[in-house]
Structure 1
Amino acid sequence: MSKVAVYGAGSWGSALAVLLTKAGHQVALIGRQSSEMALMNKLRENVRYLPGVVLPSGLTPTTDLAELNADLVILSVPSHCVREAARLMKPNLRAGGIVVNTSKGLEETSHYRLSEVLREELTDQSIAVLSGPSHAEEVGRDMPTTVVIASEVGIAEKVQDLIMTPKFRVYTNPDVIGVELGGALKNVIALCTGIAEGLGFGDNTKAALMTRGLAEIARLGVAMGGHPLTFAGLSGVGDLIVTCTSQHSRNRRAGVALGQGKPLDAVLKEVGMVVEGVRNTRVAYQLSQEKNISMPITQQAYKVLFEGVDPKIAVTDLMMRGKRHELEEVVEMSWLR
């Protein structure tokens, strides 16, 4: 048994806390609102974010940051809260401990990957990243799920040993850059497939967006130092598929509402939880401009979200771009190198 702290009591943090408790660890689920954590402790359920999933008796909902003095700390907050969370956590973390980040995004102001943010703030801890096709609603209900841990080999293997269960298979990958970018950028494409669905388009359209979207993700990811084959793995195509197609996907649901003509502010309020794809679209577009990387789907998503372009016009602009040979782009992405 190890002592584990999960910082962030949303849906994903709660699901991981349940999983790790069932795996035999002593788990503290740390939230910021004392009233919410007290209610969670009383009802043994996170009614707001993970309804219907019973919190095991060995799981302790709390606001006590002293619980962060643990063998393993899982950080599960929205991407724009990672830096603030790291600063709040730091005084209580165990020197030489491991912090695993689970949020999927990029910092808007710096364009840093989230592990870069954590390494800047938490100089005494080892940092790892958890990613892959893993909706909290299913993990909390013990549905078989497979993820990837990215870090230096020794750290990744330690985390793998601690969190792998018969229902939660964990692979390791040293390509932190590729794993993080795959997880962040797929949210942009999921928004777009949702918009297509909201416009009344069918499976052909969504399949095209997912396939060409993966090309964009890999193109930018390789340019930023990721390994091309990572984008064919769990944190690339795997996460892309589940986020673009699942009923649980906030990004897809938000896209559907946008395609139906609802304004962005109303859509975000309706979803009720953070839609990472909105922020990620802005950063991905800015990175593509800085690095001169062709990302036409991302560009049109940016125009729809932030410049008021009609989604139907964006689709037409995508369809009528200059002619290309598909294999030329495959070579550009370095898939075969």
Structure 2
Amino acid sequence: MIGIAGAGAFGTALAVALAKAGREVRLWARDAGQVDVMRQTARNDAALPGVALPKNVSIHAEIGEICGGDALLLAMPMQALGGALDGWPQIDGRQPLVACCKGVDLTTLRGPVAVIEARRPGVQAAILTGPSFAADIARGLPTALTLATKDGAALQEMLSTPTLRIYRTDDVIGAELGGALKNVIAIAAGTVIGAGLGDSARAALMTRGYAEMVRLAEALGARAETLAGLSGLGDLVLTCTSSQSRNFRFGCALGKGEVFDPKVTVEGVATARAAVKLAAGLGIDMPITGMVDALASGRIALNDAIGQLMSRPLKQE
């Protein structure tokens, strides 16, 4: 049995994909009303419209009912992960805990795996990340993800399906930071497109943003080749070029001067703030990340941000 804590779009999509591959899946939803609707309709139209839930997906309102299986996937926003673990003593680490979120915790400046390990010492903690949209996974479209953990062969086999190909790495920090920082660059890319600055500007920003990602990741102990893989470059390309990305759409709204839906989680905003703090402590230059943080918080106007980036001293690539 595989438990999934979080019935948002990604958690639901993973439940569908794993169930179609023959796994027993128990899916937990926070809202009791949502649980009732999902049980009655065998769908989760609030998060993933038009997708039917296979019969071997059961819906649960009690977190303890999804624990104790072969693995527990934690599919919730990064900033909610620590609080959820603090409030759920039922999750005791008998099974591997797999984070399915991208970001950096604002309080501790840690990634998802470190947040799990701090609260459940001795557990096998992992992160599942990479270029993917929930709708694609649920529809059975070919998707490849990275599983980052120590000794991850059994988990890799368990979470792979005919349409969901899992690669594994032991570079947890690289996988975490690739998935987190690409959201920041996706906001910047969306801002460029929303402001009408063109595809050439977006390509330049993606390239220089990737350089920032690698600089910070390497300084924190990651391997550069991890950032060149699915969890870094692959995810960066996807989220900087598709309106399915919430971070890209948020950036577009910034570029157009429009108000973005406050109910939609935009992980890149908090990640930009955390990355700026990390970079300052390490003495690392991350101008694009800094501008995203300043724009998202309203500390700088768009034209001023563009001017500052374009007027930086010339340098070698």
Aligned to 1:267: 260
Distance 1:8 1:312 in 2: 39
Aligned to 2:137: 139
Q: 2:213 aligned with 1:220, yes or no?
A: no
Aligned to 1:210: 206
Matches within 5 A, 1:315-326: 315-326=306-317
Aligned to 2:285: 294
Aligned to 2:27: 29
| Aligned 8 A contact 2:92 2:120 in 1 | no
Q: 2:246 aligned with 1:250, yes or no?
A: yes
Of the three residues 8, 11, 25, the one matched with 1:10 is: 8
Question: CA 1:303–1:259 in structure 2 vs 1: closer, same or farther (change >3 Å)?
Answer: same
Q: CA RMSD in A?
A: 1.2
Offset, 1:86: 1.5
Of the three residues 153, 157, 161, the one matched with 2:153 is: 157
Letter in structure 2 aligned against 1:71: D
Matches within 5 A, 1:269-288: 269=262, 272-288=263-279
| Aligned 8 A contact 1:90 1:122 in 2 | no
Offset, 1:273: 2.1
Q: 2:33 aligned with 1:42, yes or no?
A: no
| Aligned 8 A contact 2:171 2:226 in 1 | yes
Distance 2:196 2:37 in 1: 41
Offset, 1:89: 3.5
Give the 3-state SS of the residue equivalent to 1:129 in structure 2. strand
| Aligned 8 A contact 1:268 1:275 in 2 | no
Give the 3-state SS of the residue equivalent to 1:142 in structure 2. coil
Aligned to 2:88: 89
| Aligned 8 A contact 2:67 2:90 in 1 | no
Distance 2:88 2:124 in 1: 14
Q: 2:175 aligned with 1:176, yes or no?
A: no
Cα deviation, 1:19-49, whole Å, max 9, x if unaligned, reads 1111111111101111101101111111111
Offset, 1:70: 1.2
Distance 2:39 2:84 in 1: 22
Distance 1:293 1:144 in 2: 37
Cα deviation, 1:256-309, whole Å, max 9, x if unaligned, reads 0111112xxx4142xx32100111111111111111101110111122122431
Q: What stretches of structure 2 of length at least 5 have no aligned partner?
A: none
Number of residue equivalences: 316
Give the 3-state SS of the residue equivalent to 2:49 in structure 1. strand
Distance 1:32 1:143 in 2: 28
Offset, 1:94: 5.2
Aligned to 1:69: 68
| Aligned 8 A contact 1:70 1:94 in 2 | no
Letter in structure 2 aligned against 1:69: G
Aligned to 1:332: none
Distance 1:203 1:8 in 2: 36
Offset, 1:120: 0.7
Give the 3-state SS of the residue equivalent to 1:52 in structure 2. coil
Distance 1:171 1:8 in 2: 23
Percent identity over the alignment is 38
Distance 1:94 1:219 in 2: 34
Aligned to 2:162: 166
Offset, 1:130: 0.6
Give the 3-state SS of the residue equivalent to 2:89 in structure 1. helix
Give the 3-state SS of the residue equivalent to 1:274 in structure 2. coil
| Aligned 8 A contact 2:239 2:248 in 1 | yes
Question: CA 1:212–1:94 in structure 2 vs 1: closer, same or farther (change >3 Å)?
Answer: closer
Q: What stretches of structure 1 of length at least 5 have no aligned partner?
A: 327-337
Aligned to 1:60: 58
